[in-house]
Amino acid sequence: MNHQLLIEKTTAFVKNELKNAEGGHDWFHIERVFNTAKLISEHEEVDSLVVQLGALLHDIADPKFHGGDESVGPKMASDFLKGHEVSNAIIDHVVNIIQHMSFKNSLGKSEEEFSSKELQVVQDADRLDAMGAIGIARAFNYGGFKNRALYNPKIPPNSNMTKEEYKNSNSPTINHFYEKLLLLQEKINTETGKQIAADRHQYMVDFLEQFFKEWDPKTSKSQ
């Protein structure tokens, strides 16, 4: 199967699987990550097919929507690719990307167990989608989906969580900025990604400053 046809079939598969997904982890999230990964790839020496497949399949079964089971996504991706006679080398690479790219895995040791330029590109694209205006929108969308408070001054953020603490956290959405979103800029791998991240990071900092001004107009609180 030629590469373009494989990408088209993978796109159709992902669109169908995520047709009822939560708004921050739906097809449009995948499409943004896919397009950003392609943009970054223009400046990196990578296998473009692996990058595109990794971007399309990276959230095919996000563990947070599957009882925390981190094996569902890699298996779905592997089964799909095997069904389209993709080489074992490409399948293994894509599966490794899915298994090692998430932020929570950077809180443990798994991020060190596998590395490739292709992983770095897809990882950057995914992390960039959690930053800036869209990152803010996604954070509050998911917070509403989980019925979490916007902010609670009595619940301080924990920016040094373990992987398990992060997975089990139910903290207010504003805490998520300090527990993940504001930490992403330092985790970007590529130069192109870093340039995009700088602008999006500052946008989040400015948003938080405005948020706290509005939360308590008597002060100009900013964390």
d(CA 30, CA 24): 10
Name the 3-class secondary structure at 109: coil
- The angle at the Cα of 124, spanning 167 to 74, to the nearest 5 degrees, equals 55
Give the model confidence (pLDDT) of 117-136 as tens digits: 999 999 999 999 999 999 99
The reported pLDDT for the residue numbered 168 is 72
Mean pLDDT (the chain, rounded):
90
Give the model confidence (pLDDT) of 159-209 as tens digits: 777 777 767 778 999 999 999 999 999 999 999 999 999 999 999 999 999
Higher pLDDT, 31 or 223: 31
Burial class (CB in 10 A: 0-12, 13-18, 19+), 91: buried
Enumerate the domain spans of the chain. Answer: 3-215
pTM tops 0.85, yes or no: yes
The reported pLDDT for the residue numbered 108 is 53
Q: Under CATH, which architecture does the 3-215 domain have? A: Orthogonal Bundle (1.10)
Q: What is the mean pLDDT of residues 85-113?
A: 79
Burial track 26-52 (b if 16+ CB lie within 10 A, e otherwise): bbebbbbbbebbeebbeebebbbbbbb
Closest CA to 65 of 31, 27, 18: 18
d(CA 127, CA 193): 9
The reported pLDDT for the residue numbered 223 is 46
User: What amino acid is encoded at 105 in this protein?
Assistant: N
- The angle at the Cα of 41, spanning 36 to 45, to the nearest 5 degrees, equals 165
Binning pLDDT at 50, 70 and 90, where does residue 111 land? very low
Burial track 177-203 (b if 16+ CB lie within 10 A, e otherwise): bbbbbbbbbeebbbebbeebbeebbeb
* pLDDT surpasses 70 at 221: no
d(CA 79, CA 157): 39
Yes or no: say if 193 and 139 are a contact pair by the CB < 8 Å rule.
no
Q: What is the mean pLDDT of residues 103-109?
A: 57
The reported pLDDT for the residue numbered 214 is 95
d(CA 137, CA 177): 12
Binning pLDDT at 50, 70 and 90, where does residue 102 land? confident
Give the model confidence (pLDDT) of 19-28 as tens digits: 988 888 899 9
Closest CA to 131 of 207, 210, 21, 63: 207
Query: What are the structure tokens assigned to 102, written together?
Result: 């998430």
* pLDDT surpasses 80 at 78: yes
The reported pLDDT for the residue numbered 63 is 72
